[in-house]
Amino acid sequence: MFENQTRLRVRYAETDQMGVVYYANYFVWMELGRVEFCRAIGLRYRDMEQNDGVLLAVVEAGCRYLYPARYDEEVVLRTTLQLARPRMVRFGYEMFDAAASRKLATGFTSHIFCNPEMRPLKLPPKYLSLFEGVASDRKIPESDLR
């Protein structure tokens, strides 16, 4: 299974009054991981949008917070593609404290493919083959995708 790792350092602006990363920022990190994952497999979001009119719309997202990240800590974000279908993809994420190797959070985002008018469409084969080549579909029970 292909996995992409992205490193980031927690910025002060990402923390709350308690000095820990504000919960919504984990979703921003997931987007960063997703974009870097796509780049690593040879796919740039911008090209898919501009050249083929294909957009990835988030239809579901979740995050399980396990341990707080704090200002100036380095975070390792591991991104995988859990599912690739002609009309949708699902990414998985794990975030770790780089110094302690402690898992901070896990999450996922599910996306459907849309045209610029936000109408669902099938992904062109040239992109689908990239996604299918790195997906780990067999790990997700069908019941979890409803």
The catalytic residues are: 16
The DSSP secondary-structure symbol of 70 reads B
112: left (phi over 0), alpha (psi -120 to 50) or beta: beta
Helix (H, G, I), strand (E, B) or coil at 25: helix
Please state, as a whole number, how many other Cβ atoms lie within 10 Å of the Cβ of residue 115.
12
CA distance readout (Å), 45 to 66, 77, 115, 123, 125: 30, 19, 13, 13, 15
Q: Which of 88, 22, 94 is nearest to 60 (CA)?
A: 88
Contacts (Cβ under 8 Å, ≥6 apart) of 51: none
To which residue do tokens 């599912």 refer? Answer: 83
